[in-house]
Structure 1
C-alpha cells in the first residue's frame, strides 16, 4: 500500500510512493510499514480558550501531554461530500467542531467519524481551512503530524451479511457504511508519529479470535470464516513524546444495536473491545492477533499506551453485551480516570426519560442519545491511559447551559455532534 503524507501549512511534504518527509528527514518506509500514513513539518503550540488550558509543556523533568478523543460526526451521506464541505472553509458544523478542538487544545487527538479519502486531502483541508484558522476568536491549533488509513465501513463483502436474500448495500459491507471510508478515523498530533511502526488490523478475521462471540449459526459456514472483526479498523499508532513512545490505540467498535435475536452487533462490539484487551496481554492471550502486515502478537509489557475512541459501550447502561467495556476498564494495565462534566448531569435531569432508569453516574456520560426510541445518555467515549502513565486531570467537554461553549454542544439537532470531546492530561518523561 502507498504511504500518504499529510503536510500542514508549514513545510511541504514530498509525495512519493513509500516516502514521507518527517521533520525535515526522509525515513525509509518498508513495504511492511507502507500503510496509508503520516505527516510532515513542524508545528507551533496553541493556547486554549474558554476551557481549562493544557498545562505547561515541561515541569521538573516531565512533559505534559493532553490526549483526547472526539466522535465529531464529520461523516456525510454521499461520498466526496465531506471534501466539498471542507474545501469551503465555511461549513457551520465543521467550524463548530474546530472551535471545540481549539478550546480544548489537545496534543494528540483521535477523531472518529471522519470520512476517509485515499490521498488524505480531507485531513489537509480540515487543518488548513478550519483548525489553523481562528474560530470565533479562539486560538488556531496546529497539528503537523497525522495518520489515517482505510477502514472497513462501506467496503463490499460480496456476501449477504444481513441475510435478507440480496447482496449489496451498507448492511452487506464489512462494516456498515454507504460507501468505502464512511465513518473513518484520523489521529492528529503535535508530536512525531512513527509511521514505520504503525500497526493496523483492518483485515483481522473475527473467527481467528479464540472463544469468540461470532454467531456462526446466523452467518453460516461459508461466511463466518471470512468476517472481519473490526467494523472500521483498529490502529496502534506510536507517537514519540519526550524521552519515549506512547502508543495510541485507536478504534471505533460497532454500536451494539440494530440487529436481531442473534445479537450479531452486540457480540461484535464486545469482541472488538476485547481485541485491545488481548493486545495488552503479551503471551498466549495475544498470539492469535496478526496485523495487516503479517506481524503477530500484542503490545510488549514495557510499552506505554493510551486507548482512545468511541467504544459504543457503557459499563452499566444501554444495550452492550454484558461486561463488554469492563474488558478494558478492569484490565490490570489500564487506569480509568473517569472524566466527568456537570453539563452531562444537567442534560440527564432535563431530558428525563430513559436517563431516570440508569444505574451509572450521569457525570460520566459522553454522548447525548436522548432521541426516540432512546437508550438515554451514555458513557461510550474513552481515554484510557496505561497505569504506568501519571495522570494530572481529566474532563468531558460538556458545558452547562449558558456557560461559554454550551452553544457548541447544545441539543438535537446538535451544532457539532451527539458525542462530547473527552480529554486526559498526562505527564511523561521529558
Structure 2
C-alpha cells in the first residue's frame, strides 16, 4: 500500500526547497498497513528523528547516481527499507555522497518509487553537507613523493562530497541560518591534543580538526526552531596514528559548539553562540564502534543523556529540554508496525543500522 505523496523532488547542494512541508504526525507506517499491526499515535508536538550509517558512496564523482538508477542497489535498498519502516520526520544519513543527482535518485528510485513494496515516504527538504573530507591538503600525506590525489586529500577522499552527510526533512530547512564547522584547524582548538599527536610542519599547521564536519541545521517545526546538529567524525577504518587523539578533539569541538566556546568560529566567520536553552538533537557519526562508550560518555553526560541510543558509532542525543518518548533501532526495538519486506534477506534491514528517537517539547 502506497501513501499519497506531498511535495516536489528537487534538490541542490546545501539548499532547502521553498515548498510546504508534508503534515507529519510522527506515527510509524508499516510496509503492509492492512496487516493488523498497531502503532501508538503520538502527540502532534512530537518529532521523530533518525540517523543511519551507510556505505552509499562511489570512488568517483557522480558515479553513485548511476549506481542508484533502476532501484536495484543493495545498500540503497537496505537504507530505504529502514527509513520507510520507521518513517522519521528528519533523517541524518552519514557516509553518503552529498551530490544532488545521487540524492534525487535515491528518493525517486527507493523512497517514492511505485515499483516496490515499501511504503512511500517523501522529504521535500534536504541539506547536502560538504566538509573537509576530499579537499586537497597541498602536502604529500601518503608519502608517495607526489602531491595530489585522494591520498593527499583530507580524509583521503577522492572528491569533496564523497561519503559525507545528507539530511532529509519533512519540515522546512532554514537554509540561510545553517552554520558549519569544517575549516577549523586542529591547532585552534583550545586545550586540544595536537601536540600529543607529534605532527610537524605544514600538516600540523593546516590539518582541520574535523575529519569531515559539524553542521547546525535549523528546521522550522510547528512555528518553532529546532536545531539538527549533524556530525561526522573520524571513521572506524581510519589508519592514522593520531586518529584517537583527533577524535577526542572532534567531540570536544561538538561540545564547545553547544556551549558557545569563545575560541570557536564557524566557517561563516561568526563566533559560536551556543545552543544553551535551545531545542536541538545531536545526530550522526560521533565515534568508532569499538570503544565508543569511552569516547562519547563525557559529551553524553554534559548533555544530560545517560544512555544515548547508538549503533555502529552513530548516536542520537536530544537536548535536555526535550521529553524523550521512545527510541529504538531497526531490527531490535523498531516501531510496532515494522515488518520486513517480502523476500528480503533476514539481515538486510538490520545491517543498515538505523536508530530513531521520538522527542517532544
Which TM class, normalised by the smaller chain length? 0.7 to 0.9
Structure 2 counterpart of 1:405, from 340, 347, 357: 340
SS at match of 2:199: helix
C-alpha distance in 2, partners of 1:180/1:265? 20
| Residue 208 (str. 1) matches residue 183 (str. 2) | no
Give the 3-state SS of the residue equivalent to 1:251 in structure 2: strand
2:147 to 167, 172, 193: 167
Structure 1 counterpart of 2:17, from 24, 36, 39: 39
Moved more, 243-252 or 208-217: 208-217
Are 2:105 and 1:96 aligned? Answer: no
| Partner of residue 357, structure 1 | none
In 2, Cα distance between equivalents of 1:106 and 1:77: 29
Equivalent residue, structure 2, for 1:147: 127
Superposed CA offset, 1:155-209 (max 9, x none): 2111123456543343321122233321111111111111111001121111110
- Gap change, CA 1:383 and 1:235, over 3 Å in 2: same
Q: Which moved more, 1:39-48 or 1:189-198?
A: 39-48
2:237 matches 1:270: no
Structure 1 position 71 matched with structure 2 position 57: no
2:287 alignment partner in structure 1: 312
CA 12–163 in structure 1, closer or farther in 2 if over 3 Å, else same: closer
Q: Distance in 2 between the 1:386 and 1:299 partners?
A: 12
SS of equivalent residue, structure 1 residue 106: coil
Residue 292 of structure 2 is aligned to residue 292 of structure 1: no
CA separation of 1:336/1:319 partners in 2, compared to 1, >3 Å: closer, same or farther? closer
**Runs of 5+ unmatched residues, structure 2:** 32-36
Q: Which residue of 1 aligns with 2:201?
A: 221
C-alpha change, 1:57 and 1:121, in structure 2 (3 Å) is farther
- What whole-Å deviation, never above 9, does each CA across 1:108-147 have from its counterpart, x for those lacking one? 1100011122xx2222222222211257533210111111
What SS does the corresponding residue of 1:278 show, helix, strand or coil?
helix
Residues 198, 41 of structure 1: alpha-carbon distance in 2 compared, 3 angstrom cutoff: same
1:95-244 matches, within 5 Å, as: 95-117=77-99, 120-133=100-113, 136-163=116-143, 165-215=145-195, 218-244=198-224
1:330 and 2:301 equivalent?
A: yes
Q: Which residue of 2 aligns with 1:353?
A: none
- Paired position in structure 2 for 1:56: 42
Q: Is the contact made by 2:85 and 2:339 (CA closer than 8 Å) also made in structure 1?
A: no
Find the counterpart in structure 2 of residue 346 from structure 1.
none
CA RMSD, Structure 1 to Structure 2 (Å) = 3.0
Tell me the TM-score normalized by structure 1.
0.72
Matched with 1:374 is none
Kept in 1, the 8 Å contact 2:30–2:339? The answer is no
What are the equivalent positions in structure 2 for 1:336-355 lying under 5 Å apart? 336-339=306-309
Does 1 or 2 have the higher relative contact order (CA < 8 Å, sep 6+)?
2
Given that residues 93 and 416 in structure 1 are in contact (C-alpha distance below 8 angstroms), is that contact kept between their aligned partners in structure 2? no
**Matches of 2:61 and 2:320, distance apart in 1:** 41
Query: Is residue 100–residue 408 contact of structure 1 (8 Å, CA) maintained in 2?
Result: no
Total equivalences in the alignment: 344
Tell me the CA shift for residue 82 of structure 1. 0.7
Residue ranges of structure 1 left out of the alignment (5+ in a row)? 1-7, 21-34, 340-363, 368-379
Residue in structure 1 matched with residue 239 of structure 2 by the alignment: 259
Change in 2 beyond 3 A, CA 1:146/1:304: same
The secondary structure found in structure 1 opposite 2:176 is helix
Aligned partner of residue 148 in structure 1, secondary structure: strand
* TM-superposition CA deviations, 1:347-372 (whole Å, max 9, x none): xxxxxxxxxxxxxxxxx6x23xxxxx
TM normalised by structure 2 equals 0.84
Q: Which residue of 1 aligns with 2:34?
A: none
